[in-house]
A and B are shown apart, each in its own frame.
Chain A
């Protein structure tokens, strides 16, 4: 069964460093998403991406964040200068249409020291 994959599974970084989180969505999907979950809190929407552009972003997704689909298979989230409060589990998701089931990857646990 096709699945969303994410790398790395864990990342530890120093405050102020740049990180890139990688995702490979399900191959025939067109809609891509990033969410995050701070420990003990709700899963929160960050950004949605369709047709090579951002379709919606939350207040969390400020200028420090960017997304890219550099080729036909990868979808990346870049955090330019990490802060302590960026420590969270980051989930990538994809969907065939904007109304169907979103399928989530296993997440990347980011720890900013």
Chain B
């Protein structure tokens, strides 16, 4: 059964720092991996999608990498800003559904 784990569970950093969020999964048979952002009480905003054949994807200050064979993905956030404060979720996709991790709650303080 696929299990998705995210560390750290919470992170508090000063504005301007570069940071790395980690996601690991137990079964490498996935189609893709998706990173989301969730603001308190809100829905999920898709940040990046990495197909299983890809190694990384970039969008602005965000860079996500995927090492399918070792069951790991990282989300790198460059030059963090207070507006980046949110919970970040990774989700892997075997056929059809998404299986989510527990998330990393990020707080960026001025």
Contact = CB atoms under 8 A, between A and B. Distances in A.
Nearest to B47: A101
Contacts of A48: 96-97
Given A35-B98, A98-B96, A43 B44 contact: yes
A101 B45 CA distance: 11
Question: Interface residues of B toward A: which range?
Answer: 20 to 34
Contacts, number: 52
A55 interface: yes
A102 B95 contact: no
B99 interface: yes
Interface residues of A, number: 25
- Chain A interface mostly: strand
Interface stretch (A12-20, A68-76, A79-87, A104-112): A104-112
A63 interface: no
Interface of B: 31-32, 34, 36, 41-46, 49, 51, 89, 91, 93, 95-103
